[in-house]
Amino acid sequence: MGSKALIPLTIILLGLSLALPASAFEFECKLEKTSLPPVNAEADALFLQARKLEKQRYHDKTQVTTLYEQAAKLDHWKALHNLARRYRLGLGTYRSAAKTLETTQRLIELGAPIGYYDLAVILERGYGVKYDIEGAWLYLHKAAKLGEPNALIRLGNHYGYNLPREQQQNDKAAAYFKCAAQQHTTEAYYYYAQWLKIGEQRYPEAMHYYQLAVGNGMSKATAVLYSVFATGEHQYQIDESVAQLYDQLAYKIDADPDFRIPDITTRYPLPPHPVQGYGSLPDPRIKPTSNSDKPDTDTGEE
């Protein structure tokens, strides 16, 4: 991997035909998994070895980078994504804008949605290329159209919170956050829960998605649920047993980064909201007929 990546990347920037969303907002949520390139067993074994080593408090950063490089040579898209970040930050290797760009280019060539998101970040920061916020915006939308959850969260935050109050567009924010949650990633669950609580005051659904984030091992989501049931926020009745449960789960998550509860919504059904009931959700005390809300147990760095 060398500086030759700069020329093909320029071709990509000029050759792709991308357009900003039309003024009449239309968005069809696509599942990212339908666009992901295949991963072979050898590459995945190398990637998982790197991730296992990386989770150790004191680990050999160079060895981790080497394992990612080996997996990346076999076109493992998660390894390529994590490797680009390590080249950018100088983790276990020297910092290299050229290698960051070349690795990101390979992601795009493979069709991995996160490649477009990574390129948007590179253009936004002007890292190894000319600063280009318009180009970054185009690639951010390209990634979102392919179901990339980081891009969807960024757009949800942009339209829902970051714009001046009079320019915020709740329909766009809601659509992007909801689509992100449908990708079953931890951060997406959390941000959609935040939107449901703050943007729409749909408390039963918000608590449901916080709970899914907890099931995926997010400690800060336990703090939200603890607070709600310990103090009676959002008109919920104080329930010390529920609050204590999430206090205990917080300790378990902090002690074990691999702690997961895939069936958390059925194992620990939340009480109904005094006014909204279960909202648009089925009663969690009734056995579900599908597993569509099963949390993703993926531990990839992205």
Please give the pLDDT value at position 288. 57
Decide if pLDDT at 144 tops 80.
yes
Q: How confident is the model at residue 24 (pLDDT cuts 50, 70, 90)?
A: low
CATH topology of domain 153-267: 1.25.40
Compute the half-sphere exposure of residue 157: CA atoms within 13 Å on the CB side of its CA: 11
Tracing tokens 């300790």 back to the chain, one arrives at 251
pLDDT in tens, 174-221: 999 999 999 999 999 999 999 999 999 999 999 999 999 999 999 999
Can you give the pTM of this predicted structure? 0.87
Mean model confidence pLDDT for the chain: 90
Q: Find the mean pLDDT for residues 122-140.
A: 95
Please choose, from the candidates 235, 245, 222, the residue with its C-alpha nearest in 3D space to the C-alpha of residue 276. Answer: 235
The two tokens of residue 153 are 């969260």
Tracing tokens 């509860």 back to the chain, one arrives at 261
**CA 294 from centroid of its chain's CA atoms:** 16
pLDDT in tens, 46-103: 999 999 999 888 999 999 999 999 999 999 999 999 999 999 999 999 999 999 999 9
Report the C-alpha gap between 24 and 28 in whole angstroms. 13
Decide if pLDDT at 8 tops 70.
no
Instruction: DSSP for 52-110, please give it.
Output: HHHTSSS--HHHHHHHHHHHHHTT-HHHHHHHHHHHHHTSSS---HHHHHHHHHHHHHH
Q: How confident is the model at residue 113 (pLDDT cuts 50, 70, 90)?
A: very high
Residues of the chain with CATH 1.25.40.10: 3-20+28-147, 153-267
Instruction: DSSP for 123-179, please give it.
Output: HHHTSSS---HHHHHHHHHHHHHTT-HHHHHHHHHIIIIIS-GGG--HHHHHHHHHH
When the candidates are 2.40.240.20, 1.25.40.10, 3.30.450.30, 1.10.287.10, the CATH number that belongs to 3-20+28-147 is 1.25.40.10
Q: Find the mean pLDDT for residues 286-294.
A: 55
pLDDT in tens, 238-250: 999 999 999 999 9
Q: Find the mean pLDDT for residues 3-23.
A: 44
Please give the pLDDT value at position 294. 46
Q: Which residue would you say has higher pLDDT here, 26 or 77?
A: 77
The two tokens of residue 166 are 């009079």
